[in-house]
Amino acid sequence: MGGIGKTALAVEAAHRARVRGWFPGGTLFVDLRGYDDDPVTADQAVLALLDALSVRGEDLPPTAERQYDAYRKLLAERRARMLLILDNASDPSQYVPLLPGADHHRVLITSRDRSDALPMRLIDLETLAPEESVALVTRALHETDERDERPGQEPDALRELVDLCGHLPLALQIAAGMLRRRRHRDIASLVTEIREAGDPTVVLDKGSPGTDLYGRSLVLRPVLETSYRRLRPEQARLLRLLCLAPGTDSGVETVAALASLELESAVCLLEELTATHLLSPVRRANELRWRVHDLVRAFGVSVVKGDAGLREEGEAARERVLGSYLRWARAADDRLRWLPGMPEPERFTDRAGALAWLDSERAGMVAAVQWAREEPYVDAAVRLSERLAEYLDWRRSFDDKITVCGAARDAAHRAGNRVGEASAWTSLGIALHETGRVEEAIDAHTRARDLFRTARDRHSEAFAWGNLGTALQAVGRTEEAIDAHTRTRDLFQAAEDHLREAMAWDNLGNALQMAGRTEEAIDAHTRARDLHQAVGDRHGEAAAWNNLGATLRAAGRVEEAVEAYVKALVGLREFDNWYETGRTLSNLARAHKAAHRPTEARTAYLQSAAAYTRANAPAEAAHAQSAADSLT
């Protein structure tokens, strides 16, 4: 893309090649200005090349055809190898006529566009790695003033600055120049200025000197504008809409929804935009996705904001994306919650497929839910957040869940949607609990319970009581927890919701065990297990077996506990629930240890560490590994 450093690389390569004696015949350089309003044609360039080869005045052939003949003849006669740099080409017609007829010379061509006109070796330039970006700015500052201590004193601000510059060399060069001129201001001040502006190109172009020592442009926005203006209307439209897409990258399905295109048409346009280097393909797992550079995204957003028609087009695109996300998130969520006898969900035939889709689109959907801050998208964004709750719990992505539920809660409150607000409080409370913020979780579940009660939604109120009980139990308020879980059980019994009643019995059993009422706890977990079996909930049954095992072990019935854990593991492994598998294996290890079977205990701890690792729970994995090591 523009500003990536193509010319700088070509010129540096030429200098190094010259030092090594690779091109004793010399080097020729032509700036074709391919992205200017008046690009250099091949006919104009050949005149400059002939002049550099000392063909001028009366020696210059009168017609373009004869000029090309003279140019190629001169190169063919020169046995000493030459290097020809054709810089900034936008079209093969600019450089194909200039290629030497002799094969012993070499040519470097720089362009923002990938061309298939000739079988040439292609070198794609990417943005710099973060550490390279930091090194570039640091070096630029120290070359001017070796006493400049800001990079060492403000490492975090410098990293944020290079992130805001998108690790694009041109942007980094401009930022370094601004810091040199602002010698007595810290790096953080420039970071703040860029963040407040929203569009880095505005701040950087304002602070740019305009050109470098070679007369080349040091402004970002014109570079992006020239690339944008060259696009066909359908390409420009897709690029604008991609700049509005949620998340850092998008799958083809999302792109098709965004632009209201068939999948094949979307793929073709994406490939065309990739050839212009305004878009980058990104492979995640087995899926090809598409990413817009941050500075291109900021530019595209500003283009849309500046035109009422484009804003309307963008709003329609965002509505389509939310609709698509909501449809498939609903189907995936239904599959995750599916039990025998329920209607078959749309599209997803198994849990693995539903989870794979949710994994690939998670970042985009989390970003899309935050559109709930804008009035047109409140309802869809709140409903999307509800459909993500189970999945985010399953993947233990609690930071994402806090983000999603916080946005949904605020949006529902502004819209006066009390049930939606209560649902968001419920999901937020679960995430807060899982991240150790239990007092905040208690407040969240209390708010949810009161809102559901006001709305006379007894079923949801029952859920809120259950979640509140779990949070109260976590802070040692055991009797209050028992009361809350009892209320939950009674409400679900009255509603004849046997699945939720089973969950309530299981939670009640945990609270009773904490209160030392072990026999009552065993009875509660047994009831939970039987109810889960009756409704065909294999995953819930596995959880009940695990909890029953813990209670049996506390009662000294170790062999029965081992049997319960083994049965729990069978169910958990059916669902690839690696976190709960890790926890159950640790429980099994403790039971074996209590039965004086250290070898079996160590094996179970090692298996627990492996399961926790798969669940991305490093602290728990380390604890299990340590427990295993202690038994060697």
The answer to whether residue 211 scores a pLDDT higher than 80 is: no
Residues 103, 19 within the same domain: yes
Angle at which helix 233-244 crosses helix 263-275, to 10 degrees, equals 90
Q: Are the C-beta atoms of 84 and 48 separated by less than 8 Å?
A: no
Residues 45, 101 within the same domain: yes
Domain end among 77, 109, 141: 109
The Cα–Cα gap between 200 and 220 comes to 9
Domain end among 172, 205, 221: 221
Q: 98 lies in which domain range?
A: 6-109
Residues 146, 95 within the same domain: no
Written as six digits, the tokens of 587 are 């429980």
Q: What is the pLDDT of residue 216?
A: 62
Domain end among 178, 193, 221: 221
Number of domains composing the chain = 2
Residues 28, 67 within the same domain: yes
- pLDDT, one tens digit per residue, over 411-440 is 999 989 999 999 999 999 999 999 999 999
- pLDDT, one tens digit per residue, over 498-529 is 999 999 999 999 999 999 999 999 999 999 99
Confirm whether 285 is domain-assigned. Answer: no
Confirm whether 228 is domain-assigned. Answer: no
The Cα–Cα gap between 318 and 513 comes to 50
- Which regions of 387-500 does DSSP assign to beta strands (E)? none
Residues 177, 94 within the same domain: no
Q: What is the pLDDT of residue 118?
A: 82
Residues 100, 57 within the same domain: yes
Residues 12, 103 within the same domain: yes
Confirm whether 181 is domain-assigned. Answer: yes
CA-only gyration radius of the chain, Å: 32
Written as six digits, the tokens of 604 are 């179970």
Q: Are the C-beta atoms of 174 and 220 separated by less than 8 Å?
A: yes
Confirm whether 458 is domain-assigned. Answer: no
* Residue 604 pLDDT level (bands cut at 50, 70, 90): very high
Confirm whether 512 is domain-assigned. Answer: no
Q: What is the pTM of this model?
A: 0.79
Q: What is the pLDDT of residue 213?
A: 55
- pLDDT, one tens digit per residue, over 377-410 is 988 988 999 999 999 998 989 999 999 999 999 9
- pLDDT, one tens digit per residue, over 611-631 is 999 998 999 999 999 999 999
Confirm whether 468 is domain-assigned. Answer: no
Confirm whether 175 is domain-assigned. Answer: yes
The Cα–Cα gap between 104 and 76 comes to 9
Confirm whether 79 is domain-assigned. Answer: yes
Residues 190, 152 within the same domain: yes
* Residue 608 pLDDT level (bands cut at 50, 70, 90): very high
Helix (H, G, I), strand (E, B) or coil at 489: helix
Please name which of 28, 15, 4 lies closest in space to residue 107, comparing C-alpha atoms: 28
Residues 92, 40 within the same domain: yes
Q: In what order do the strands lie in the sheet with 106-109?
A: 27-31, 83-87, 106-109
Residues 83, 150 within the same domain: no
Residues 17, 88 within the same domain: yes
Residues 10, 99 within the same domain: yes
- Name residue 463's amino acid: F
Please name which of 96, 105, 55 lies closest in space to residue 75, comparing C-alpha atoms: 105
- pLDDT, one tens digit per residue, over 236-269 is 999 999 999 998 899 999 999 999 999 999 999 9
